[in-house]
Amino acid sequence: MNTPSAHRPRILLIYTGGTIGMIENPETEALQPFNFDHLIDNVPKLKMLNYVIDNVSFNPPIDSSDMSPEHWEEIAHVVENSYHLYDGFVVLHGTDTMAYTASALSFMLENLRKPVIITGSQLPIGEVRTDGEENLITAVQIAAAIDRHGDPMVQEVAILFENYLWRGNRATKRSADNFNAFKSHNYPELAKIGLDINYHEDALYRHHVHEPFKVNYGLDKSIIVIDLFPGLREDAFRHALHTPATKGVVLRSFGAGNAPTAPWFFDALKEAIDGGLVVFNVTQCVGGSVLPGRYAASDALAAAGVVAGADITTEAAIAKMMFLFGQNIPAHEVRRRLTHPICGEMTLPSPGE
Ligand code: ASP
């Protein structure tokens, strides 16, 4: 791995909370977020890197189950304010909603050309067998890495966890106890971490046009998620589609984007979509893609005007809808942009698939 030799890399740590910095409550024995000094005191090895490492912390730090679009804006604001002062950013975050935050930041941080590496841990940093120390140190090294042209190696939002670096808007939490807690089922790893950090340069995001960095605020929370399951009742489905103040639905369908063929299902969807609702179809499968027309059971969705989400994750679909509705563009434009990759979050099926 290359790091700049002419100057000490400057890294900003943004501590939001999560298991990595938690300690046990002596009365309840439950883990709860603790302050940044405690965290950093447990990683004296960071000093061996000889980087300039500054930090900012959520006050108070939170369990990521409490993460919200307002918190995403807070993180984006920190990156925006210090973008030109640092070579890279490391966000310390709970694992539970890390993939949502990574997805949201990928849409918010437009034309990002510096690394924003999100990490955390399964065991608190104060525990003997913690994975937090290694994750934090590796994330900081990745945030400082440069390529052979002297540019930042990673120019996107990514999740570093144990042995892998994943594109943030492609990753999903796959295990509540495995140290390799994340995986991207539809996109290769950006780097494999072993004795060395081996980057897969072909997989790394690169911009083709030079536009200035800008942050998109104003995420719109007017969306819901509906999971299909055998036995879903018509009244419950209609009720969900007509949830007040809802502009968009992420519809988690079966397999390659299939749904019940019952006429009531089509009628309910068509009515809602004709009324202005945007419905985005993603698969419930952990891997693979929505392929409209592959099965007759997907025809009703296409005919009703549902937008196919290709191989996007649910986390990225939610973030993308919040981001697009927050741009104050008409619904037809939201629909159009949903079908196009914005920052590497989806791969469109090749014709014939
Ligand atoms: N509940 C914790 C959180 O997401 C879990 C973790 O960090 O691993 O904040």
User: What's the predicted TM-score (pTM) here?
Assistant: 0.95
Q: Confidence band (pLDDT; 50, 70, 90) for 295?
A: confident
> Can you tell me the mean pLDDT for 222-231?
98
Question: Residue 261 has what pLDDT?
Answer: 93
> Can you tell me the mean pLDDT for 257-284?
96
Q: Confidence band (pLDDT; 50, 70, 90) for 1?
A: very low
Question: Residue 70 has what pLDDT?
Answer: 98
Q: Contact at 8 Å (CB) between 299 and 262?
A: no
Distance (Å, rounded) from C-alpha 305 to C-alpha 273? 7
Secondary structure letter of residue 48 according to DSSP: G
Question: Residue 351 has what pLDDT?
Answer: 67
243 versus 350: the higher-pLDDT residue is 243
Count of helix runs (H) and strand runs (E) in the chain: 9, 18
Least confident of 61-70, 86-95, 240-249, 341-350: 341-350
Per-residue pLDDT reduced to its tens digit, 10-56: 999 999 999 999 988 888 989 988 888 888 888 989 989 999 999 99
* Cα Rg of the chain, angstroms: 21
Q: What is the mean pLDDT of the chain?
A: 94
10 Å Cβ neighbour count for 84?
Answer: 8
Distance (Å, rounded) from C-alpha 207 to C-alpha 151? 12
Q: Confidence band (pLDDT; 50, 70, 90) for 299?
A: confident
Residue 151 C-alpha to ligand 1 middle, in angstroms? 33
- Is the pLDDT at 3 greater than 60? The verdict is no
The share of the chain scoring above pLDDT 70, in percent, equals 97
> Can you tell me the mean pLDDT for 161-168?
97
Ligand 1 atom closest to 121 (CA):
8
Ligand 1 atom closest to 17 (CA):
9
Contacts with 27 (C-beta within 8 Å, 6 or more apart), sequence order: none
Q: Contact at 8 Å (CB) between 107 and 52?
A: no
Residue 91 C-alpha to ligand 1 middle, in angstroms? 14
Question: Residue 40 has what pLDDT?
Answer: 84
Q: Which of 15, 20, 34, 65 to mutate to test the pocket of ligand 1 (most atoms within 8 A of CB)?
A: 65
